[in-house]
Every structure is written in C-alpha cells, then in structure tokens.
C-alpha cells in the first residue's frame, strides 16, 4: 500500500510543470495589496463599537433586513403571522445565520493558522501572506464576539428562558450533536476531547503523512507546536467545515491541509464557498443598510454590523480566491494522493454544506433536518406559544409542501452556485462531479427537498417531546 502510494506520488511529481516565477510574484503582489487595503480599513473597529452599544429593546421595532430574510418567509405560517411575530422572525433569522457564521469563523481562525504554518516553511517571500492570514484571524475574533453578543441578547429577549428548557427525548441525534444551540461557542482552545483516543489520532496523522510524503511535504509549524506540547487537535464540529465533514475525517483533513502546500491552498477553495454563501445574504443586509442611510432613515445595530462585516469580509474573500484559484499553481502539479484528498473534501463540502434547499431559512443550503430543532424551539417559544403538537403540525405545513419560500430559495441557491461554480470550473484538479458542482445542482430541486423533509420530520416527530 505504502509503496503504491509513494510510487503514484513520484510518478506525478516527475511530470509536474514548473510554475513560472513571474506568476508567483504576481500572486504575492496581489496578496500584499489586499493585505495593505485590509490594514487601512477600520470596519472591524466599527463592528466592535457597534456591538458594545447594542441592546435589543432599542433595535426591536424595525426590520433588520428586507422581510424575505426572515425565518419561515413565504410559508403559510408567515402569511398568517402578526406584525410582531414577523419582526421576531426577521430578527431570529439574523441570529440563526450569524450563529452559523460565528462557528464558521472560529474554524477560519484555526485553519488560517494551520495553513500559515505550511506557507511559512516554503520561503520568506510568503511572510506577507502569513501576516495577512494572522490579521484575518484576529478580525474574526472580533466578528465572532459581536455576533455572539448580539445574538445572545436577541435570543434571550425573544425566546425567553422557558424555551431554553424544552427537551427532546434522550438519545436524540440532535441532542448528541449539540445542534439545539442557537448561538455558537468559541472553540475551547484547540484541545481535543478526542485525546482519549490516542491510537486513532496518531493513526490519522500517520496516514496523512504516508499519503502525502513527497518532496513537497511541509508539516505545519502550528501543528508541530501542538505535537511538542503533547496536545491533540480538536475536530471542529460546527460551522461550514463541521456541518459537512464527520468529526474523525475533519482531524484527518486538518493534518492534510497542514502538511502540503497544495492542500493548504485547497482549504481556501472550501473557505471561498463559505465566503460565497455568507456574501449571498449579507449583501442584502448591506444594500438594505445603504438604502435606509440614503433615505435618512434610522438603521439598526445588527444590520449596520452586517454592513461593515460585508466590507471586512470582502478582503477575506479576495484572499480565499487568490490562494484557491491562483496560488495553488505555484507549487506544481499535485500528486495523485493530493488530488484524491482534495476531491473527497470538495465532494463532502458539496453534499453537507451546499447540498440542501431549506424552505424555512433562505440562504442556507444545509440539510433542513439540521434546522428543525431551531424551528421547533421558535414555535414553542413565547413568540408563537404553540403546543408541541401544533408546532409539529406547522412544521409539516411549512417544510413538506411547496410554497413561495422554496421558490425564492431557489434564486439564492442559483446565485450561490454560480459564484462558487466560477471558482470550481477553473480548478483543473477537480473531478467533473466537483468541477461542475453536480451535487449542489441536484440539491436545488424543490421536490427533492420536500421529499427529504417528509422523512426527516417523521424522525424528528418521534424524538420531539409531545
């Protein structure tokens, strides 16, 4: 097995083309400009100040975005909702999406360091890239704090303490996976509870080394530091990585992203998809903010935070695109093992992060079963004050039948797919199923989404306490 892998790696390595140093210089120059522009901006500082000024009561009477960015928008439930309930659904949409964003950005903090630890070993000319990645990670920490603080205050005001006590049956997979939480926690360092399984951990590390052992192997300095301290890495469970990749595989892929310059670059194709999904709805917040400002109307703190985050993230999107689309070519042609790993990661990303079409949460493309606990909570909360049976009844009406929300969602889906597809189509190492975004495309079917929801809601009804 080892000999076969090594032989494959050598074969491809022998035929690899030497990247042009002119192209490499150009990529590094683009990074320098992007980094410099980011340093000169003050959007993060603005987000920090806004967050400190937030209290829910002063922001509770207006919409934070156009109404379509509301949970259950376009469903029969939304049509019959009172104005106060519609406002709450609009605010809870912000909370739900930025809860996910906070978790995703916690992953970014981690993976920026994992990959910078690879780039830093290539040559001094990658120093500015590493500094940029470090700076982005610092910005994300402020973003995460703002999202969590605003989200927590809003959630507490709207859902109250009573709903926090709602229980699902013991042993439910929702409970086990922690998906009932609306607001993400910062990662608890990067120490792992999986440390108990040292054999598995070391095996995954060994396997990654075996598969990637070629002349380009560079084991991340960041990962080396953990090894020296004897601390195993945690597997990120939430956000855009955790939602799509099983926990043990996340650890394996972390070693991969942290061992090879090509795969370190490939992580940014994943990150770009996360940027694109966020931008897909955050752009709407920014536009709404600009319009209110132009009309001299009052703006709420959360939408203003979204606006500045949209601007801050534009630098991060540029970084993702630069590394994923261009810079990977600077390290020669990938080995067979690297290509397989990159394609498996991209495939899993498509399936788990981009493969669904939720009818109640426009702009998210995960499997809607993952959002069902959140819907249930909202319906049982003081906002709707439904009994368990009524909550399940309305979930069936909203998730298992065609309605306007599904149709609007397909527009968001197409826009995101076009954006991510532009990058994917330029990546010559991807298999056709990935390069043509076939999994995401097939997930864009309303009838398929409804059929999945019918099955998932049946399961959910069994574990929800009635």
Nearest distance, CB of residue 105 and Fe ion, angstroms: 5
Nearest distance, CB of residue 238 and Fe ion, angstroms: 15
Nearest distance, CB of residue 31 and Fe ion, angstroms: 15
> Taking CB under 5 A as the rule, does residue 24 contact Fe ion?
no
Nearer of residues 239 and 444 to Fe ion, judged by Cβ: 239
Nearest distance, CB of residue 124 and Fe ion, angstroms: 26
> Taking CB under 5 A as the rule, does residue 100 contact Fe ion?
no
Nearer of residues 140 and 368 to Fe ion, judged by Cβ: 140
Nearer of residues 88 and 323 to Fe ion, judged by Cβ: 323
Q: How far apart are CA 179 and CA 168, in angstroms?
A: 12
Q: By CB under 5 A, how many residues form the interface with Fe ion?
A: 5
Of 216-224, 316-324, 335-343, 350-358, the segment contacting Fe ion by CB under 5 A is: 316-324
Nearest distance, CB of residue 143 and Fe ion, angstroms: 4
Nearest distance, CB of residue 316 and Fe ion, angstroms: 3
Of 64-72, 254-262, 308-316, 380-388, the segment contacting Fe ion by CB under 5 A is: 308-316
Site string for Fe ion, 131-150 (x = CB under 5 A): ---------x--x-------
Question: Which of 27, 91, 100, 316 is in the footprint of Fe ion by CB under 5 A?
Answer: 316
Nearest distance, CB of residue 101 and Fe ion, angstroms: 7
Nearest distance, CB of residue 313 and Fe ion, angstroms: 5
> Taking CB under 5 A as the rule, does residue 91 contact Fe ion?
no
Of 74-82, 184-192, 201-209, 312-320, the segment contacting Fe ion by CB under 5 A is: 312-320
> Taking CB under 5 A as the rule, does residue 307 contact Fe ion?
no
Of 3-11, 225-233, 305-313, 384-392, the segment contacting Fe ion by CB under 5 A is: 305-313
Of 310-318, 372-380, 432-440, 443-451, the segment contacting Fe ion by CB under 5 A is: 310-318
**What's the 3-state SS for the chain?**
CHHHHHHHHHHHHHHCCCCCHHHHHHHHHHHHHHHHHHHHCCHHHHHHHHHHHCCHHHHCCCCCCCCCCCCCCCCHHHHCCCHHHHHHHHHHHHHHHHHHHHHHHHHHHHHHHHHHHHHCCCCHHHHHHHHHHHHHHHHHHHHHHHHHHHHHHHHHHHHHHHHHCCCECCCCHHHHHCCCCCCCCCCCCCECHHHHCHHHHHHHHHHHHHHHCCCCCCCCHHHHHHHHHCCCECCCCCHHHHCCCCHHHHHHHHHHHCCCHHHHHHHHHHHHHHHHHHHHHHHHHHHHHHHHHHCCCCCCHHHHHHHHHHHHHHHHHHHHHHHHHHHHHHHCCCCHHHHHHHHHHHHHHHHHHCCCCCCCCCCCCCCHHHCHHHHHHHHHCCCCCCCHHHHHHHHHHHHCCCCHHHHHHHHHHHHHHHHHHHHHCCCCCCCHHHHCCHHHHHCCCHHHHHHHHHHHHHHHHHHECC
According to DSSP, the residues that pair with 464 across neighbouring strands are: 168
Nearer of residues 27 and 271 to Fe ion, judged by Cβ: 271
Of 168-176, 208-216, 236-244, 313-321, the segment contacting Fe ion by CB under 5 A is: 313-321
Task: Enumerate binding residues for Fe ion (CB under 5 A).
Answer: 105, 140, 143, 313, 316
């Amino acid at each position: 097995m080892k000999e076969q892998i090594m032989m494959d790696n050598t074969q491809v390595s022998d035929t690899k083309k030497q990247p042009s140093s002119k192209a490499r210089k150009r990529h590094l120059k683009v990074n320098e400009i992007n980094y410099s522009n980011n340093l000169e901006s003050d959007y993060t500082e603005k987000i920090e100040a806004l967050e400190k000024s937030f209290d829910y009561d002063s922001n509770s009477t207006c919409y934070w975005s156009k109404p379509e960015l509301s949970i259950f928008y376009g469903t029969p439930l939304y049509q019959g909702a009172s104005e106060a309930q519609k406002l709450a659904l609009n605010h809870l949409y912000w909370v739900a999406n930025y809860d996910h964003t906070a978790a995703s950005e916690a992953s970014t903090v981690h993976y920026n360091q994992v990959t910078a630890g690879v780039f830093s070993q290539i040559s001094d000319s990658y120093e500015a890239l590493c500094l940029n990645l470090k700076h982005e990670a610092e910005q994300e920490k402020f973003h995460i704090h703002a999202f969590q603080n605003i989200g927590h205050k809003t959630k507490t005001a709207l859902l109250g303490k009573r709903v926090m006590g709602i229980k699902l049956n013991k042993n439910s997979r929702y409970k086990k996976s922690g998906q009932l939480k609306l607001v993400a926690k910062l990662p608890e360092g990067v120490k792992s509870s999986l440390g108990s399984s040292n054999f598995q951990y070391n095996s995954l590390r060994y396997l990654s080394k075996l598969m990637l052992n070629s002349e380009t192997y560079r084991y991340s300095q960041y990962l080396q530091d953990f090894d020296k301290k004897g601390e195993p890495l945690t597997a990120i469970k939430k956000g855009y990585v955790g939602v799509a990749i099983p926990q043990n595989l996340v650890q394996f892929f972390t070693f991969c992203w942290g061992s090879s310059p090509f795969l370190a670059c490939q992580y940014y194709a994943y990150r770009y998809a996360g940027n694109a999904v966020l931008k897909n709805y955050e752009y709407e917040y920014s536009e709404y903010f600009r319009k209110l400002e132009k009309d001299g109307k009052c703006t709420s703190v959360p939408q203003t935070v979204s606006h500045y985050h949209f601007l801050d993230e534009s630098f991060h999107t540029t970084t993702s695109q630069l590394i994923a689309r261009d810079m990977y070519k600077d390290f020669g042609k990938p080995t067979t093992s690297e290509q397989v790993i990159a394609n498996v990661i991209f495939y899993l990303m498509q399936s788990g992060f981009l493969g669904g079409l939720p009818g109640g949460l426009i702009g998210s493309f995960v499997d809607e079963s993952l959002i069902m606990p959140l819907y249930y909570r909202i319906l049982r909360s003081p906002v709707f004050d439904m009994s368990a049976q009524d909550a399940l009844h309305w979930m069936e009406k909203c998730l298992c039948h065609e309605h306007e929300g599904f149709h609007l969602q397909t527009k968001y889906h197409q826009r995101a797919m076009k954006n991510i597809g532009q990058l994917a189509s330029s990546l010559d190492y991807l298999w056709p199923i990935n390069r043509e975004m076939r999994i995401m495309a097939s997930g864009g079917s309303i009838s398929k989404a409804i059929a999945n929801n019918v099955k998932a809601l049946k399961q959910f009804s069994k574990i929800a306490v009635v």
